[in-house]
């Protein structure tokens, strides 16, 4: 049997979300080998090479016309998320028949469970495959590094809506310019606009997190245009995803607004705080049901951090530990994947 994993390097634009490859990496842990990458948005339906088995975890989909998958794909459906952007086409009659033929469907979130059960498809909450990353990548040692992955800060248009806040941010920027330049350089960002946004970030986040920790942290962007340039092949991208996972596995702690950083860190037992955007749109929040309670969260309301964790000063010493409620979910996924792969041999 040949084995494939999902790739997502084609779709809406040239930006790559390496979180998609972190999800693929989680599935790859259980495969004897990777023989093929199949593009989620362009190749699923028309794949016609030799038969492959594939764990079909992930986010579906921008192009529902590329669904359902080819009969040459032997699928295991776990950690499936159906996003509103693919509806109603994604759940047309052909798709419903296809999914019923592969029941039960393991769903990444509770909203997807509900969508499928309303169509009389047997579905259950499986959680996210990235919770299993400790199966292969858990580290027995920690370094002193802090990673901050795409933190929220003020949005464009702040000057028009909040001139006094903007003025105070400019003053803060000039009085803390050295540290703001340090952060901007780490993020590969230059110019007054970036300095302003990073000044706002440092000003707002240092009210909750230790100032020195924020300045000395390493900053990572998991979703950007440069990934395709720096990691052009599918093997390059999966190796980069593995590089990030190994970093997170050894980190002292992580602050992130990316769910596919927070979930991997949880599965790696790395202390993580997920920054949740208050009043976010339903295309984003629909992903969170059953997952967001697995890690420590703090909210960003557009101007400041709020919530219980925002009432204290957080540093590496008192950073909240990982909750234990993810473990049975990860164990269930591990057993499901092992059983599937064993059945293909």
Residues 140 and 214 in one domain: yes
Residues 175 and 284 in one domain: yes
Please state which of the ranges 9-18, 191-200, 226-235 shows the lowest mean pLDDT. Answer: 9-18
Per residue in 283-319, pLDDT tens? 677 888 899 999 999 999 999 999 999 999 999 999 9
Residues 238 and 184 in one domain: yes
Q: What is the pTM of this model?
A: 0.96
**Cβ–Cβ < 8 Å for 286, 259:** no
- The pLDDT of residue 125 is 98
* Predicted confidence band of residue 246 (pLDDT cuts 50, 70, 90): very high
What whole-number distance in Å separates Cα of residue 67 and Cα of residue 60? Answer: 9
Structural domains of the chain, count: 2
Residues 125 and 165 in one domain: no
- The pLDDT of residue 72 is 98
Per residue in 275-284, pLDDT tens? 999 987 776 7
Residues 9 and 83 in one domain: yes
β-strands 52-55, 2-7 pairing: parallel
Residues 336 and 299 in one domain: no
Residues 26 and 118 in one domain: yes
- The pLDDT of residue 281 is 74
- The pLDDT of residue 192 is 95
Instruction: Give the mean pLDDT of 330-339.
Output: 98
Per residue in 32-76, pLDDT tens? 999 999 999 999 999 999 999 999 999 999 999 999 999 999 999
Residues 174 and 286 in one domain: yes
- Contacts with 179 (C-beta within 8 Å, 6 or more apart), sequence order: 202, 215
Residues 279 and 259 in one domain: yes
Instruction: Give the mean pLDDT of 107-117.
Output: 97
pLDDT at residue 11 greater than cutoff 70: no
Q: Which domain holds residue 259?
A: 136-325
Give the up-direction half-sphere exposure of residue 98: CA atoms within 13 A in the CB hemisphere: 17
What whole-number distance in Å separates Cα of residue 114 and Cα of residue 3? Answer: 30
Residues 100 and 144 in one domain: no
Residues 200 and 313 in one domain: yes
- The pLDDT of residue 139 is 97
**Cβ–Cβ < 8 Å for 180, 199:** yes
Per residue in 152-186, pLDDT tens? 999 888 989 999 999 999 999 999 999 999 999 99
* Predicted confidence band of residue 12 (pLDDT cuts 50, 70, 90): low
Residues 162 and 183 in one domain: yes
């Amino acid at each position: 049997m040949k084995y494939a994993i999902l790739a997502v390097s084609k779709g809406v634009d040239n930006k790559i979300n390496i979180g998609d490859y972190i999800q693929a990496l989680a599935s790859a842990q259980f495969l004897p080998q990777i023989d093929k990458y199949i593009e989620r948005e362009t190749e699923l339906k028309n794949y016609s090479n030799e038969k492959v088995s594939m764990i079909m975890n992930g986010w579906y989909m921008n192009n529902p016309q590329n669904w359902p998958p080819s009969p040459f794909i032997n699928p295991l459906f776990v950690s499936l998320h159906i996003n509103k952007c693919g509806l109603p086409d994604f759940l047309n009659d052909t798709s419903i028949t296809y999914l019923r033929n592969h029941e039960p469907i393991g769903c990444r979130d509770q909203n997807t469970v509900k969508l499928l059960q309303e169509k009389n498809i047997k579905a259950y909450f499986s959680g996210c495959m990235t919770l299993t990353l400790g199966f292969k990548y858990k580290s027995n040692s920690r370094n002193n590094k802090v990673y901050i992955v795409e933190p929220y800060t003020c949005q464009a248009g702040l000057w028009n809506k909040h001139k006094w806040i903007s003025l105070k941010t400019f003053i803060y920027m000039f009085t803390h310019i050295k540290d703001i330049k340090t952060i901007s350089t780490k993020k590969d960002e230059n110019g007054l606009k970036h300095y302003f946004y990073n000044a706002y970030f440092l000003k707002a986040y240092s009210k909750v997190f230790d100032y020195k920790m924020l300045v000395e942290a390493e900053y990572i962007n998991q979703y950007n245009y440069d990934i395709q340039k720096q990691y052009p092949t599918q093997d390059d991208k999966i190796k980069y995803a593995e590089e990030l996972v190994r970093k997170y596995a050894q980190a002292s702690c992580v602050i992130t607004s990316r769910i596919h950083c927070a979930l991997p860190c949880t599965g790696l037992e790395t202390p993580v705080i997920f920054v949740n955007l208050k009043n976010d749109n339903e295309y984003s929040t629909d992903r969170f049901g059953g997952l967001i309670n697995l890690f420590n969260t703090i909210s960003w309301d557009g101007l400041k951090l709020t919530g219980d964790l925002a009432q204290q000063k957080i540093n590496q010493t008192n950073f909240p530990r990982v909750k234990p409620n993810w473990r049975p979910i990860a164990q269930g996924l591990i057993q499901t994947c092992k059983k599937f792969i064993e059945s293909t041999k």
